[in-house]
Structure 1
Amino acid sequence: MNPLLAPASSAPLIRREVAGLPRYDPGADPDEVAALSGSGRVIKLSNNENPFGASPAVAEAVRKALADGVSRYPDPSGRRLAQAIGASLDVPAERVVLGNGSENILELLCQAVLDPGDLVVTQAPGFSLHETFPRVMGARVRKVPVTDGFGFDADAWRDALAEGPKLVFLANPCNPTGAMLAAGELERIVAGLPDTALLVLDEAYGEFARSCPGYPDGLEALRRLDRPWIVLRTFSKAYGLAGVRVGYGIASDEALIQALDRVRTPYNVNHPAQEAAIAALGDPAHLADTVRRTALEIARVSGLLRDAGLKVVPSAANFLFIDTGRPADHVARELHHAGVIVKAWREPGYETCIRASLSTPGDNDVFVRCLTDICAKDTP
């Protein structure tokens, strides 16, 4: 190519807040891991997906939605889905917002609420987008560390909330640890919130936790309060709809929903996705079976790993956070050679930890065997 015709770099045009952001890490590419391992089958444990799949009713709903035609735009308000969600939770449909995954709503909240220099409080280790989206808006992020046992640090949270945040992102259960806040702990956080703060309670994995003793239903805990809040949930995890991307939020008031509607794209949830979510919501028996089978595997695999000498955080979700005592990137690469993909955690202070979403019992047995073999031959 003639160097005189080379395009000028766009780098000077990029906002400095964006230029300094890390890329989202989805985990290793399955095709690359398959080539590296020489295995015809890869066990993917990096994205907290549901190995048991969606309700059988979902496939029929999507088939019908596609047969109806894909040449027309979907309902921009997702009214039927919003009404179904509202009816299931005893909230008006006007207080429900839909997103292309619940992280889409995280992004909308930051766009609608944050000014440059505003403070956002979240936790560490935590979901990366709880930090990334605020930074895009030029906000400051204060991350509250967990205790040595990966539990809730009441004093640290109280200190952070006293700094006057505008947004508070609180995940229950927490991603990546799987740890949960009990009812009393949630109440203490809420009691410490400044009047001007919006509480965003991220319950992406809440369906898995509801059978755990002491787990609070965030919506029930917050609906009595006269303050701004929003509870986020998703169909991607326990409902098994990760491929079609449907999340939703239930807000304290319609004004917050109206603000989010002003910044979201008009057709952010496509028609087959809306129909899939309605079908999934209508099959509670399938959801209950998924949660039951997941809980059995969480307990079984946690026990096997602890017996092997690994530190495993008690999990109320569908994944485990494991301190291997070794550099996580090294452990992840070794697992790739065995055809297993996990998430190596790179957040400062947790670089020896991996997150592994659980799969079927057979896949989980392969993961346990490979991980324990790697740790046994690679003693720190």
Structure 2
Amino acid sequence: MADTGLLRPELQGLAPYNAGLSLADIAARPGVTRVAKLGSNENLHGVSDAVRRAMTEAIVQAHLYPDPSGRELAALLAADLGVDPGRIVLGDGSEDLLNVLARALLRTDDEVITLYPSFPLHEDYATMMGARVTRIGLKDDAIDVDALVAAMARPVRLVLFANPMNPAGLWLGGDDLARVLAAQQPGTVLCVDEAYVEYAAHAEGYRSAADLLAGHDKPLLILRTFSKAWGLAGLRIGFGVTNSAELRRGLDLVRTPFNVNHVAQGGAIAALAHAGEMRATVAATVAERERMARGLAALNLRCLPSAGNFLFVDTGRDAGALADGLLDRGVIVKPWKQPGYESWMRISVGTGADTDQLLTALAMLL
């Protein structure tokens, strides 16, 4: 059927989100006996027995609507962050809150500043609302803090970036983060996506924006997720914390009333009670990331420094074709498709066996 103009014109510039391939997609390929799923930045160590038991118990109440505010979970998160529970908002994954934020805040022709290369949804939801996206690119393989601060000197509607960056893995240290917060204009909302904060805690100089939340006098929203270090990607649960009662009220008005299901809330509560297990898998992942980086360097592949559970790798060739070759060897990675980064791929860090499979496959292909 021909395009009849049925859809909003803002959607014309959007492409479907590249969610990656599933285990089943690759396991069905001829000759594949083991799959290394290194394309989605999941915690491949999984969750503890205690978390699984909590989710099993929660499913008994599947016939009932969940707590719409997630009060028990919000109270635990607020206590950990030292904020009032009323400043916590739950989401169906933190990317749900990106969507909610865009719908609550953005108007046609509003300007949104983000770092580049970017997590695509940081740009897509803004575009969906008719906003204009300004990208601040890297300089000498580092975040261009001077350019970011200069761009924030004008009264833009929203500044949104990940720290550490996805896909680049680069991060703002404490001094640079303070510079960015100081540059924020009174009418600007600043959103810092900290999806990988648990890994970044191991990075030199890293500081979470949550440390500065209480003393900040302009609207600040920090996003976090249980999908990465906590190993609950399949449950879709994230949260935001803000210093702005007005912004918190707006997010509540826009989000769906029961946006986080009962099993997800139960799993997250149990995960918080066993945070030591999460920290152990994070430490193992950080060590494995460094081993992977050494192995990639031995293959003459260039990696950016990373504070996440992934590496951003310049292959020096068409990354899409190389990724297809890896699929035939049971390895899933994510070739980056944003302009200027067609030779790059993002590789998640999994187990030691996953790293070995990746490096062996790359050695054969290169």
Please indicate the TM-score interval, normalised by the length of the shorter structure.
Answer: over 0.9
In structure 2, distance between residues paired with 1:64 and 1:18: 41
Does 1:34 find its partner at 2:27? yes
**Match for residue 234 of structure 1?**
225
SS for the counterpart of 2:155 is: coil
1:295 is matched by which residue type in structure 2? V
1:50 is matched by which residue type in structure 2? N
After superposition, the C-alpha distances for 1:209-235 in whole angstroms (9 at most, x for unaligned) are 112221102101232111100111011
2:164 is matched by which residue type in structure 1? P
SS for the counterpart of 1:142 is: strand
**Match for residue 331 of structure 2?**
340
Greater gyration radius: 1
Contact 1:37–1:336 (Cα < 8 Å) also in 2: no
1:99 is matched by which residue type in structure 2? G
SS for the counterpart of 2:159 is: strand
**Match for residue 48 of structure 2?**
55
1:105 is matched by which residue type in structure 2? L
Aligned counterpart for 1:251 among listed residues 208, 219, 242: 242
1:146 is matched by which residue type in structure 2? L
In structure 1, distance between residues paired with 2:302 and 2:263: 42
Contact 1:37–1:339 (Cα < 8 Å) also in 2: no
SS for the counterpart of 2:151 is: helix
Aligned counterpart for 1:85 among listed residues 77, 88, 92: 77
TM-score calculated relative to the size of structure 1:
0.93
In structure 1, distance between residues paired with 2:257 and 2:213: 28
Unaligned runs of 5+ in 1: 1-7, 376-380
Aligned counterpart for 2:365 among listed residues 344, 349, 374: 374
Q: Provide the aligned C-alpha RMSD in A.
A: 1.4
After superposition, the C-alpha distances for 1:17-40 in whole angstroms (9 at most, x for unaligned) are 013211100123433323334313
Worse-matched range after superposition: 254-263 or 236-245: 254-263
After superposition, the C-alpha distances for 1:141-191 in whole angstroms (9 at most, x for unaligned) are 001101132x11123213322343211112111100111111111112112
| Pairing 1:276-315 to 2, within 5 Å after superposition | 276-315=267-306
**Match for residue 22 of structure 1?**
15
Worse-matched range after superposition: 156-165 or 106-115: 156-165
TM-score calculated relative to the size of structure 2:
0.97
| Pairing 1:1-380 to 2, within 5 Å after superposition | 11-67=4-60, 69-149=61-141, 151-375=142-366
Contact 1:73–1:267 (Cα < 8 Å) also in 2: yes
After superposition, the C-alpha distances for 1:30-88 in whole angstroms (9 at most, x for unaligned) are 33323334313321111000011123221111111112x21111111111111111111
1:261 is matched by which residue type in structure 2? D
Contact 1:46–1:341 (Cα < 8 Å) also in 2: yes
In structure 2, distance between residues paired with 1:363 and 1:306: 17
In structure 2, distance between residues paired with 1:283 and 1:14: 46
In structure 1, distance between residues paired with 2:334 and 2:282: 22
Deviation at 1:98, TM superposition (A): 0.1
In structure 1, distance between residues paired with 2:30 and 2:182: 51
Unaligned runs of 5+ in 2: none
